């Protein structure tokens, strides 16, 4: 058996087409959504992600506001940039690219919760815990949307999430156990006694630990869906640097569905960021006085 590939790039393309129409409808009513990004330092990976986000926006008619700050920028200077975008009416949503090397919680709590397109402001994470509508974190939202678009059954499924981080594992567990998803979730982490046993029981595995190739074929039930969220850069046998996910390549031989990496959850994260930008602009227009 060879797994069906969950093609995040193809879904990103469809979502862009859908969102372009909503952006055009907003523009007709005088609202041009604008995504702001704040990037600190010169990490090439972070620069690639931020560039990709602006390219996506440009393609569907969302305006871009960029604040690229040099390595060594102080927390106070980043907070000043946050204040500026909070006050900018042309910026309908923005994010501070992580990691900044600074106090991320201080930065996240400074963002206007209505402009928080990352869904990581403490108030928005609080709304998730309380079961109320609010912007949701892009990567877990993208994982669920990817499963939906390929009709992978979620209601009643056993899901094993590997990783309890704030951007993926922790919120994903909260999202999948809502009534609207109705999954049963086990969140695994470094304290989990028998990871292989937890994963073998799962209908859906989400690997978000950041440990290259940690999910091996023997840990996967035949026919399970496996989402590969982790991104590590490793040195291959021939000495070149390559991207390695958390899922071993041979998992494709047992799983029913696998998200490739790259080309799976990464592009879905960008698709959900665009969705959050459009939703924030629609919400701002509906509640504007
Ligand atoms: N405030 C904040 N918000 C984020 O959403 C955020 C962040 N900080 N910090 C870093 C992570 C990572 N992230 C990705 C986005 C797109 C791809 C993506 O599109 N990857 C492509 C290319 C991968 C490659 O070749 O490097 C793919 O998977 O096909 C991956 C990862 C957003 N993040």
Alpha helices in 111-168 (DSSP H): 122-130, 138-149
| Bridge partners of residue 159, in order along the sequence | 185, 204
Report the greatest alpha carbon distance in the chain: 61
Mutational pocket test of ligand 1: of 15, 117, 269, the residue with most ligand atoms within 8 Å of the beta carbon? 269
266 marked as binding residue: no
Give residue 289's pLDDT: 63
Residues 229, 206: contact at Cβ < 8 Å? yes
Give residue 197's pLDDT: 98
Residues 186, 180: contact at Cβ < 8 Å? no
Atom 18 of ligand 1: nearest residue by CA position: 266
Residues 6+ apart with CB under 8 A from 61: 20, 23, 24, 27, 32, 33
Measured in angstroms, how far is the CA atom of residue 266 from the centroid of ligand 1?
A: 5
40 marked as binding residue: no
C-alpha–C-alpha distance, residues 256 and 5, integer Å: 9
Give residue 288's pLDDT: 79
pTM above 0.80, yes or no: yes
C-alpha–C-alpha distance, residues 233 and 210, integer Å: 10
Atom 16 of ligand 1: nearest residue by CA position: 266
Q: Report the candidate in 96, 9, 121, 89 with the shortest Cα–Cα distance to residue 56.
A: 9
Cis bond upstream, residue 142 (ω within 30):
no
The pair of three-digit structure tokens given for residue 32, joined into one six-digit string: 């041009």
Count of C-beta atoms within a 10 Å radius of residue 238: 6
Cis bond upstream, residue 99 (ω within 30):
yes
C-alpha–C-alpha distance, residues 100 and 94, integer Å: 15
Atom 11 of ligand 1: nearest residue by CA position: 98
163 marked as binding residue: yes
The pair of three-digit structure tokens given for residue 234, joined into one six-digit string: 């490793």
Catalytic residues, by residue number, are 53, 97, 118
Residues 269, 138: contact at Cβ < 8 Å? yes
- All domains of the chain in start order, with CATH: 29-110 (3.40.50.10860), 138-267 (3.40.50.720)
Ligand 1 proximal residues by C-beta, below 6 Å? 49, 52, 95-98, 118, 138, 243, 262-263, 266-267, 269-270
The pLDDT averaged over each successive group of 10 residues in the chain (289 residues) is: 95 98 98 98 96 98 98 98 98 98 98 98 98 97 98 98 98 98 98 98 98 97 98 90 94 98 97 98 89
């Amino acid at each position: 058996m060879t797994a069906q590939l969950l093609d995040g790039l193809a879904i990103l393309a469809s979502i862009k087409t859908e969102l372009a129409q909503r952006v055009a409808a907003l523009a007709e009513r005088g609202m041009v959504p604008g995504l702001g990004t704040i990037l600190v330092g010169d990490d090439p990976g972070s620069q690639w992600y931020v560039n990709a986000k602006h390219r996506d926006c440009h393609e569907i008619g969302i305006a871009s506001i960029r604040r690229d700050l040099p390595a060594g920028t102080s927390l106070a200077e980043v907070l000043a940039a946050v204040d500026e975008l909070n006050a900018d009416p042309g910026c309908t949503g923005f994010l501070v690219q992580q990691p900044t090397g600074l106090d991320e919680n201080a930065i996240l709590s400074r963002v206007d919760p209505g402009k928080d397109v990352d869904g990581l402001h403490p108030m928005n994470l609080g709304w998730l815990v309380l079961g109320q509508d609010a912007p949701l974190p892009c990567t877990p939202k993208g994982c669920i949307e990817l499963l939906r678009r390929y009709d992978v059954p979620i209601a009643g499924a056993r899901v094993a999430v590997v990783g309890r981080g704030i951007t993926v594992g922790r919120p994903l567990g909260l999202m999948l156990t809502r009534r609207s998803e109705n999954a049963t979730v086990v969140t695994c982490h470094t304290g989990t006694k028998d990871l292989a046993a937890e994963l073998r029981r799962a209908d859906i595995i989400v690997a978000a630990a950041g440990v290259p190739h940690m999910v091996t074929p023997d840990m996967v039930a035949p026919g399970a869906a496996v989402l590969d969220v982790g991104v590590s850069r490793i040195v291959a046998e021939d000495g070149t640097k390559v991207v390695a996910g958390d899922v071993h390549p041979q998992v494709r031989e047992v799983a029913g569905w696998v998200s490739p990496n790259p080309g799976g959850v990464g592009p879905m994260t960008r698709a959900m960021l665009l969705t959050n930008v459009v939703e924030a602009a629609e919400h701002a227009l509906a509640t504007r006085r």
